[in-house]
């Protein structure tokens, strides 16, 4: 938990896949954490940039395009 001055042990910049994972790991290690996100929701590039034939497979952490 943050102290009275608002200080935390870990500050995560960005609520994309990596930021969410870092938040999870820091909390799991019992650090006080704050995540800052510029947008109104989380998801980052993988959520906001949806291109035809592009996919995000969260199981393998890859971002790829299919070319035919």
Check residue 51 and give its pLDDT: 65
In order along its 68 residues, the chain shows pLDDT tens digits of 667 678 999 999 998 888 989 999 999 999 999 999 888 777 776 666 666 666 655 554 455 555 55
Extract the tokens encoding 21: 């994972």
According to the model, what pLDDT value does residue 18 have?
A: 87
CA 37, 13, 62, 25 torsion: positive or negative? Answer: negative
Domain ranges of the chain: 1-42
pLDDT value of residue 17: 82
Q: What pLDDT is stored for residue 39 in this prediction?
A: 80
For residue 38, the model assigns a pLDDT of: 85
Give 28: exposed, middle or buried? Use CB within 10 Å, 0-12, 13-18, 19+. exposed
């Amino acid at each position: 938990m943050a102290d009275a001055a608002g200080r935390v042990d870990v500050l995560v910049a960005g609520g994309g896949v990596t930021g969410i994972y870092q938040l999870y790991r820091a909390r799991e290690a019992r650090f006080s954490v704050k995540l800052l996100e510029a947008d109104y929701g989380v998801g980052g590039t993988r959520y906001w940039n949806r291109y035809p034939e592009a996919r995000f497979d969260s199981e393998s952490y890859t971002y790829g395009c299919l070319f035919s």
